[in-house]
């Protein structure tokens, strides 16, 4: 994962832009991307700070609580439903997820949909 540019570099860019240089000139002078300088200036205008936003972090699981219970109950009942069918069922219940989210959920729960019942 990439790291944010140092604050010293961001402050130098702000100083050069405040002195009247364009973002393109500052980017060339500091050997950074033009879009980086533009975003730094936008952040400074909107928040008054050049501090970078949080990078990374934990994304909470989407299928929790009553939605999780519903999916596991459907699996336990032996319903012949595809992962896309589960995703559509959750959408009807108010939770929009895609096929990949359902796949990750089933894998995390240890559920398998083998055609041969011997391998379940």
Interval 33-65: pLDDT, tens: 999 999 999 999 999 999 998 888 888 899 999
103 inside domain: yes
Residue with token string 């130098």: 12
52 inside domain: no
CA dist 38 and 26 (Å) reads: 10
34 inside domain: yes
| Residue-wise pLDDT tens digits, 1-36 | 578 999 999 999 999 999 999 999 999 999 999 999
Into how many domains does the chain fold? 2
Residue with token string 């980086």: 36
106 inside domain: yes
E strand map for the chain: none
Q: Name the residue range of residue 40's domain.
A: 7-47
For the stretch 112-118, contacts whose Cβ atoms lie closer than 8 Å and that sit 24 or more positions apart, written own/partner, are 113/83
Residue 108 sits in the same domain as residue 71: yes
113 Cβ contact partners less than 8 Å away, ≥ 6 residues apart: 83, 106
Task: Enter the tokens of residue 119.
Answer: 């391998």
2 inside domain: no
């Amino acid at each position: 994962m990439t790291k944010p540019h140092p604050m010293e570099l961001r402050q130098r860019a702000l100083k050069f832009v405040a002195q009247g240089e364009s973002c393109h000139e500052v980017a060339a002078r500091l050997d950074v991307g033009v879009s980086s300088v533009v975003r730094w200036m936008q952040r400074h205008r909107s928040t008054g700070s050049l501090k970078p936003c949080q990078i990374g972090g934990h994304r909470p699981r989407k299928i929790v609580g009553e939605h999780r219970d519903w999916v596991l109950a459907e699996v336990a009942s032996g319903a012949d439903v595809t992962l896309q069918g589960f995703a559509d069922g959750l959408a009807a219940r108010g939770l929009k997820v895609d096929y990949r989210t359902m796949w990750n959920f089933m894998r995390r729960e240890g559920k398998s949909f083998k055609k041969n019942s011997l391998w379940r």
